[in-house]
Structure 1
Amino acid sequence: MKDQHLVTLTVNGREHELVLESRRTLADTLRQELGLTGTHLGCEHGICGACTVLLDGEPVRACLVFGVQADGREIRTVEGLADGDELNDLQQAFSRHHGLQCGFCTPGFLMLAEAYLAGGGSADPGEVREVVSANLCRCTGYQGIVEAVTEVAARRREQAAKAHD
């Protein structure tokens, strides 16, 4: 008999009830049970960051979290960034600044950056470089990623200041 649990996950604003084995990772749950294949599996040891998702607004490596640990929690994946076919500002900036090449690591970088920006992240390139250094990319050299996140941070801060006035 398998060790199974009924869990409720809210993923990208939509609630899902699933029966999961205790050993199934959140990454496998998202990909196999829910068909959200934007969460990529790279190293499966929490090192590369390709599987980064937001769990209650905080970036986590989905390969290191069990699906049952996410019971009752809010999960946001790369599929939750766009509004239908309209890419969000961060996704558009990644494209504009060539912050992606093969695209394998891109979902993890987008989710890491989205959490940074949601937390009021600065537009300081040095700080952004430090944040994105948590994830690995073998193609871009990071400069385009840093430029994209810096641009969006500056724009979002400007918009917040205007809204506050």
Structure 2
Amino acid sequence: MIPPTTDQLIRYSKIILMAYFSFFGLLVMYSNFTDYASNYEYVGHVLSMDTTREKSNLSYRAITSPILHHRIYWIIITLEVTYTVFCLLGTYHLYRNRYASPKDFHEAKKFAIIGLLVAMFIYYVCLQVIGVEWFNMDESHTWNAKDWARHIVDFIVPLLIYVAIRIER
């Protein structure tokens, strides 16, 4: 057996890391579809701001309509499905082009990059920026996913850089 070259290992590592993140997306989707009520409850509490400081000057920001809670939650689910599909397609295209030219392998990264950017939108913009800064999610002792979202973003950012950077030959 001929040992793989460093360039081959770099290509395989990008494929494997994208597969890991795709698997995470599949688990998130599974959770949202099989336990809709629990995850909906989380979204409803964050949007209602009912577990943050009472009499806060920011309580005017609360969204208390259950219809809007469901709609916002379905937007989040749609975005999670979108990033998972793009990451799976990205993983597939990277795998399919693992022996291709450097240019073709680099071009095969498109779907993976799109998927990671959509995931960044969910976990950074929606949860950390809007959830924490607009709805004060971090003040809730029960319905606070700030640290959970941060850990995901802490994985996505270097993965996005690593996948996008052109270091294979």
| Alignment TM-score, normalising by the size of structure 1 | 0.28
* Structure with greater Cα Rg: 2
Bigger relative contact order, structure 1 or 2 (CA pairs below 8 A, ≥6 apart) = 2
> Quick check: which one's helix share is greater?
2
| Alignment TM-score, normalising by the size of structure 2 | 0.28
> Quick check: which one's strand share is greater?
1
